[in-house]
Structure 1
């Protein structure tokens, strides 16, 4: 775990489910957590109250729960390891899709951050897991591109450290949300294509529309309207900008 606190495997599973659900609904209903984990609502409520005391969630009875910035950071990291492991099991070890999820669940809790980075390089920076094509969250090293990460030795990576801000993919933003481009996953061809459209590091983007069924993401960038295909939009990660125009470390604009 990248967090200084040590979490049980059970707690990590809860946070992973919260991460997945929070990308679709905010706040997350406890009944939906209960269904995904096949655990009683009472047990879910008990765990959420514990998480709130530890600063991982904001919980309101009868309304639901949202991840805090710290909770999102941990949940995203767990999810990233899980989905990278799924890719490894399927692409390298040739395990069938229907079996990779359970095996990844058993392995994700012991995968170190260094091993996670090495695995990402081995797999050439994949963006989706194989079983349900869910997006692999971005790493939290202080790099702007995958190429920059690949060029660094582990000692240099340790010196660079981790990001202070959580990032979210353009495809996971809500309509009218704004963000500052902070990381692009992919090779130089993708980066060059985005630069030609004005999507560069530090550029502010506003989401005008996120089309359903994996349609394009419509953006406002530098005064111009753009329709960005999902294949590229999912690999552009931003810091969410709040209404007060300050850049927040929050992963998503809840509420």
Structure 2
């Protein structure tokens, strides 16, 4: 398995906030970062310049920052660990809800990829954290959770070379190739019954196409109303 870069907790925190506010390529302002991180705007600006030099963001003075593909990869990974830990702390360890976020923040930076995978399996591939935010897809090179479960030797697992977003995370005028479907074998069967499969082309034109708990999308030239539970677990390559 490819070695991960050693990235400071401070950098991970910045990238996590950028992802939370701009996972679809939206520009995140210095003001937003300053407020969420509790750091002076001048210090934020200095860090953004450093992150740009590292190739993690594209920074435009007086406007804000956008994650690059590499920055997105790191941001999704740390966000995923945080939200899985929140789920574990609340549902399994029964930690008080008001303490869950802070404890997950402390633990996310030291949680190994192997332990993250084990938590995901134990929690049955969760799609939402306790605050109902999407848990990003793992960065392991699988097309489904069943593939992951069948690979017992963690050292043989490779990292995915591209980033993913679920249908429910997409903005208007988004399209891509379905590359990962998360969930139990029962959910995968339900998705397959709609003729949704790995390799299909998906497009999502307007946010108004979300009606109630369904998303109107076009998959391989066919319009489909995808229920929210499925939308949370069908990921396209971005």
TM (norm. structure 1) is: 0.87
Q: Please give the alpha-carbon distance, in whole angstroms, between the structure 1 residues aligned to 2:191 and 2:100.
A: 33
Hey, what does 1:253 align to over in structure 2? Answer: none
Hey, what does 1:246 align to over in structure 2? Answer: none
User: Helix, strand or coil: the match of 2:44?
Assistant: helix
Tell me the C-alpha RMSD between the 2 structures.
1.7
Q: Deviations over 1:76-114 (max 9, x none)?
A: 100111111111110111012211000011111111111
Superposition deviation, residue 214 in structure 1? 6.4
Q: Please give the alpha-carbon distance, in whole angstroms, between the structure 2 residues aligned to 1:213 and 1:226.
A: 12
- Provide structure 1 residue ranges, at least 5 long, that are not aligned to the other structure: 241-255
Q: Deviations over 1:20-55 (max 9, x none)?
A: 011377111111111111211111111110000011
User: Helix, strand or coil: the match of 1:206?
Assistant: strand
Q: Please give the alpha-carbon distance, in whole angstroms, between the structure 1 residues aligned to 2:25 and 2:138.
A: 23
Note if 1:77 corresponds to 2:77. Answer: yes
Hey, what does 2:118 align to over in structure 1? Answer: 118
TM (norm. structure 2) is: 0.93
Q: Please give the alpha-carbon distance, in whole angstroms, between the structure 1 residues aligned to 2:212 and 2:122.
A: 27
- Provide structure 2 residue ranges, at least 5 long, that are not aligned to the other structure: none
Hey, what does 1:128 align to over in structure 2? Answer: 128
Contact 2:124 2:184 in 1 (8 A): no
Contact 2:125 2:184 in 1 (8 A): no
Q: Please give the alpha-carbon distance, in whole angstroms, between the structure 1 residues aligned to 2:236 and 2:24.
A: 18
Q: Deviations over 1:52-81 (max 9, x none)?
A: 001110001122111111111011100111
Q: Call closer, same or farther: CA 1:139–1:117 in 2, change over 3 Å.
A: same
Contact 1:209 1:219 in 2 (8 A): no
User: Helix, strand or coil: the match of 1:46?
Assistant: helix
Contact 2:176 2:201 in 1 (8 A): yes
